[in-house]
């Protein structure tokens, strides 16, 4: 490799970092400058194989900037590869520019949205898992991390899982520039700590001076030679490298150079050929090894029996897997509770145990989806709160992921509130473009899992621990955004809107009230988002009042969504939800305690007559 050419391209990259951020008036030049040699050495050193004309080629190597705030470096790199023009660089951070402050879906060459720290390595684990075990391709995945983000627990989750799966096609590059946003990081320039920690986590480590281009190139070569475990290149770097008056200085995080200081800085960098570009090595020209698709049989349940929707989730995985070779299942060490284990039985090569590390599971799911897979990730509904930030970021990565949360609500019973998902509907509803599906029986659960697999985007499926009666036949369809009226007559006094566990309760309440001569209408709001507002408003037309009943806290769930839909009408809406501090007890005791059982519904309906 021509080191002179590399040094020349580094000058161009530094120039672009400084000028684009000064032009933008904001951004992170110093955090970008520390990684210049590391990244130029990667892209142009001959080992990164990437067809820049076809970024989505399955055999391209992948590069993730976990330290997303170093986006000026990222854009400058691709400018140096001839793929971003100088004019485009100068639109950095402007409204409408593809070069946003932090990479998002649609950012040129970005694999995923980053900017919330500590998430990139999990995404990389997902991509490397895909290469090694699914697509069986020789592409390699590189992740650039900052030292501040090494404090995030999610990074250590990714490190442990990356080592567990022996991902020798994964390289983490640690840009240890000593300084965080407001001062020194936990370990400053003590590379030994990082070395000991990562080694203990089972990674191969290589320590380098991150500004010594030769050492950097050797490190990438060494990483490629190591088999059986991933490699971390731990690089001592200098924040602001190349500009003496901001080098290694506190107070320069996230600050562009003022216009008046720019010429001095550019002079220090030295003459840069602003038209210089370098080529990338090309990928080998291999295709992914896709499985064949087989026909999917319909779900099959005895209509006279009861089944838990969590079990139906597992049944659906097993049923759908042969027909959907892109399906991959991840679970957080509770697959015998979520029934994700059913996938393991039919397609063990497409099931990955993620252990009790939900943040990394969500990131791995995103990484898989960015490589064309359809991941279905499961844990208890309550524990998805652990990965909210990763799910939040997935919406900016155009993530195509199904999250299944089992054990929703107080109806789980004796385990008590720590295990009860009572905020999960609020959480997943708040994600832009998400669908939130909450089946009331095994048959609709199977169909909704199918809909989730076919749908593009972020989909949440909420399942129930307890068995509930079969309500639908195998031919019934459940479009996302729909609803079903299950009981209806001209004499109905009240509409009860329910979903999941409360649907069975609402139907039992209807039976009980019918025995007393009172007819109520019951609607299955299985699509909590998008909510079938039109259908629900229509179903309420001839009744005096609406009762919404849900096994969730009052805010952000089905009740609030339905009540908000009735704003502007004069229809009375009564919301039943979990309002007393939940506790241990039998499922029915707890549903009664919270007033969301058949008894609570009957009582509420009577007050409305």
Residues in the chain: 609
- Torsion angle of alpha carbons 35, 395, 293, 165, nearest 10°? 40
Phi, psi (degrees; rounded to nearest 5) at 602:
-55, -45
Among residues 38, 43, 104, 503, the one that binds a second copy under rule CB under 8 A: 104
- Binding residue for a second copy, selected from 258, 348, 490, 568, defined by CB under 8 A: 568
Applying CB under 8 A, among 490, 516, 567, 607 the residue interacting with a second copy is 567
Q: Which of residues 192-221 bind a second copy (CB under 8 A)?
A: 193, 196-197, 199-202
Query: Which residues share a beta bridge with 497?
Result: 523, 548
Within 223-282, the residues that bind a second copy by CB under 8 A are none
- Candidate ranges 11-19, 94-102, 287-295, 491-499; the one touching a second copy (CB under 8 A): 94-102
> Rounded distance, CA 187 to CA 147, Å?
9
- Segment lying near a second copy (by CB under 8 A), choices 278-286, 308-316, 348-356, 468-476: 348-356
Least Cβ distance, residue 564 to a second copy (angstroms)? 4
Q: Return the residues of window 307-346 that contact a second copy according to CB under 8 A.
A: 333-337, 341
Among 30, 32, 34, 116, binds a second copy (CB under 8 A): 116
358 is known as an active-site residue:
yes
Determine if 512 is a binding residue for a second copy (CB under 8 A).
Answer: no
Buried b (16+ CB within 10 A) or exposed e, 145-164: bbbbbbebebbbbbbbbbbb
Measure CA 327 to chain center.
16
> Max alpha carbon distance in the chain (Å)?
90
Helix 120-129 with 358-370: angle, nearest 10 deg: 60
Subset of 2-31 contacting a second copy (CB under 8 A):
24-27
584 binds a second copy (CB under 8 A): yes
Cis peptide before 530 (omega within 30 of 0): yes
Q: Where are the beta strands (DSSP E) in 5-117?
A: 62-65
Q: Is position 430 an interface residue for a second copy (rule: CB under 8 A)?
A: yes
Binding-site member from 223, 382, 408, 510 for a second copy (CB under 8 A): 382
Closest approach, Cβ 448 to a second copy, in A, equals 19
Of 273, 300, 415, 511, which one interacts with a second copy (CB under 8 A)? Answer: 415
* CA 609 to centroid of chain Cα atoms: 46
In the shown chain, the binding pattern of residues 136 to 165 toward a second copy, with x for contact by CB under 8 A and - for none, equals ------------xx-xxxxxxx--x---x-
Q: Least distance from C-beta 553 to a second copy, angstroms? A: 5
- Segment lying near a second copy (by CB under 8 A), choices 34-42, 98-106, 135-143, 476-484: 98-106
Pairing of strands 141-146, 520-524: unpaired
Contact between 423 and a second copy by CB under 8 A: the answer reads: yes
Residues from 523 through 542 that contact a second copy (CB under 8 A): 529
Name all contacts of 241-246 with Cβ < 8 Å and 24+ positions apart.
241/33, 241/34, 241/36, 241/177, 241/211, 242/14, 242/33, 242/36, 242/268, 242/269, 243/18, 243/33, 243/268, 243/269, 244/268, 246/30
Binds a second copy by CB under 8 A, chosen from 3, 186, 293, 454: 186
Closest CA to 332 of 439, 405, 438: 405
Secondary structure in 3-state letters for 244-280: CCCCCCCCCCCCCCCHHHHHHHHHHHCCCCCCCCCCC
Q: How many residues bind a second copy (CB under 8 A)?
A: 108
Q: Which residue from 346, 566, 595, 599 is in contact with a second copy, where contact means CB under 8 A?
A: 566
Q: Is 203 helix (H, G, I), strand (E, B) or coil?
A: coil
Residue 239 vs 392, nearer CB to a second copy: 392
Report the candidate in 268, 316, 604, 302 with the shortest Cα–Cα distance to residue 453.
Answer: 316
**CB contact set of 177 (below 8 Å; sequence gap of 6+):** 30, 31, 34, 146, 147, 237, 238, 239, 241, 248
- Rounded to the nearest whole angstrom, what is the least distance from the CB of residue 46 to a second copy in the complex? 32
**Shortest separation between residue 106's beta carbon and a second copy, angstroms:** 9
Q: Give the residue, chosen from 23, 190, 248, 389, that forms a contact with a second copy under the rule CB under 8 A.
A: 389
Q: By C-beta, is 82 or 98 nearer to a second copy?
A: 98
Q: Which of 277, 385, 488, 542 binds a second copy (CB under 8 A)?
A: 385
For the stretch 344-356, what's the b/e string if a residue is b when 16 or more beta carbons lie within 10 angstroms of its beta carbon? beebeebbbbbee
User: What is the spatial distance between Cα 140 and Cα 155, in angstroms, rounded to a whole number?
Assistant: 19
Give the residue with the Cβ less far from a second copy, 8 or 206. Answer: 206
| Stretch near a second copy under the rule CB under 8 A, chosen from 30-38, 448-456, 587-595, 597-605 | 587-595
Catalytic residue among 100, 152, 341, 358: 358
Please report, as residue ranges, which positions from 431 to 450 form the binding site for a second copy (by CB under 8 A): 431-432
Only segment of 271-279, 289-297, 317-325, 389-397 that touches a second copy (CB under 8 A)? 389-397
Residue 57 Cβ vs a second copy, minimum distance, rounded to whole Å = 26
Q: Which two tokens stand for residue 19?
A: 């000028």
Question: Considering just the CA atoms, what is the radius of gyration of the chain in Å?
Answer: 27
Per DSSP, what are the bridge partners of residue 286? none
Contacts of 152 (CB under 8 A, 6+ apart): 117, 118
SS3 for 587? helix
Q: Given the complex with a second copy, which of 381 and 452 has the nearer CB atom?
A: 381
Contact segment (CB under 8 A) with a second copy among 264-272, 368-376, 413-421, 447-455 equals 413-421
Where does this chain touch a second copy (CB under 8 A) — which range of 10-18, 40-48, 191-199, 231-239? 191-199
Site for a second copy in 440-499 (CB under 8 A): none
- The one among 180, 299, 367, 405 contacting a second copy by CB under 8 A: 180
In angstroms, what is the minimal distance from the CB of 258 to a second copy? 17
- CA–CA dist 539, 523 (Å, integer): 8
Active site residues: 358
């Amino acid at each position: 490799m021509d080191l002179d050419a590399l040094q020349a391209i580094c000058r161009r990259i530094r120039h672009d970092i400084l000028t684009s951020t000064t032009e933008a008036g904001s951004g992170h030049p110093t955090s970008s400058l520390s990684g210049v040699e590391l990244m130029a050495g990667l892209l142009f050193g001959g080992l990164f194989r990437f067809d820049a004309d076809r970024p989505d080629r399955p055999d391209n190597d992948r590069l993730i900037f976990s330290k997303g705030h170093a986006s000026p470096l990222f854009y400058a790199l691709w400018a140096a590869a001839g793929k971003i023009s100088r004019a485009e660089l100068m639109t950095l951070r402007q409204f409408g520019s593809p070069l946003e402050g932090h990479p998002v879906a649609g950012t040129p060459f970005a694999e995923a949205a980053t900017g919330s720290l500590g998430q990139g390595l999990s995404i990389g684990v997902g991509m490397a898992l895909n290469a090694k075990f699914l697509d069986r391709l020789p592409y390699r995945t590189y992740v650039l991390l900052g030292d501040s983000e090494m404090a995030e627990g999610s990074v250590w989750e990714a490190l442990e899982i990356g080592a567990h799966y022996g991902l020798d096609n994964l390289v983490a590059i640690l840009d240890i520039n000593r300084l965080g946003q407001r001062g020194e990081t936990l370990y400053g320039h003590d590379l030994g700590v990082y070395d000991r920690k990562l080694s203990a986590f089972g990674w191969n480590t290589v320590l380098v001076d991150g500004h010594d281009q030769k050492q950097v190139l050797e490190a990438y070569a060494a990483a490629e030679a190591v088999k059986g475990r991933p490699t971390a290149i731990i690089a001592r770097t200098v924040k602001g490298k190349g500009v003496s008056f901001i080098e290694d200085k506190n107070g320069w995080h996230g600050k562009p150079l003022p216009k008046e200081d720019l010429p001095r800085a550019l002079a220090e960098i030295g003459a840069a050929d602003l038209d210089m570009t370098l080529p990338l090595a090309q990928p080998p020209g291999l295709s992914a090894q896709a499985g064949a698709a087989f026909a999917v049989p319909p779900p099959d349940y005895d209509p006279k029996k009861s089944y838990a929707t969590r079990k139906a989730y597992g049944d659906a995985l097993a049923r759908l897997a042969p027909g959907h070779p892109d399906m991959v299942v991840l679970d957080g060490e509770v697959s015998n509770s979520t029934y994700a284990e059913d996938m393991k039985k039919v397609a063990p090569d497409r099931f990955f145990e993620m252990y009790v590390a939900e943040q990394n599971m969500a990131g791995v799911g995103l990484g898989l989806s960015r490589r064309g897979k359809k991941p279905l990730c499961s844990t208890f509904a309550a524990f998805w709160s652990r990965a909210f930030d990763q799910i939040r970021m997935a919406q900016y990565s155009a993530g195509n992921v199904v999250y299944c949360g089992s054990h929703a609500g107080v109806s789980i019973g004796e385990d008590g509130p720590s295990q009860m998902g009572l905020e999960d509907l609020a959480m997943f509803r708040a994600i832009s473009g998400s669908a939130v599906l909450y089946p009331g029986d095994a048959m609709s659960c199977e169909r909704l899992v199918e809909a989730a697999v076919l749908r593009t985007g972020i989909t949440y499926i909420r399942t129930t621990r307890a068995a509930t009666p079969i309500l639908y036949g195998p031919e019934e369809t459940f479009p996302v955004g729909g609803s079903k009226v299950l009981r209806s007559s001209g004499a109905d006094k009240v509409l009860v809107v329910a979903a999941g566990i409360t649907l069975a309760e609402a139907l039992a309440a209807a039976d009980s009230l019918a025995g007393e001569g009172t007819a109520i209408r019951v609607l299955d709001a299985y699509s909590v988002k998008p909510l079938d507002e039109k259908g629900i408003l229509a179903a309420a037309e001839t009744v005096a009042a609406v009762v919404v009943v849900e096994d969730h806290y009052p805010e952000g769930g089905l009740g609030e969504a339905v009540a908000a839909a009735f704003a502007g009408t004069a229809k009375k809406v009564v919301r039943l939800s979990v309002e007393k501090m939940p506790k241990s007890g039998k499922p029915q005791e707890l549903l009664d305690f919270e007033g969301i059982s058949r008894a609570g519904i009957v009582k509420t309906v009577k007050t409305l007559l």
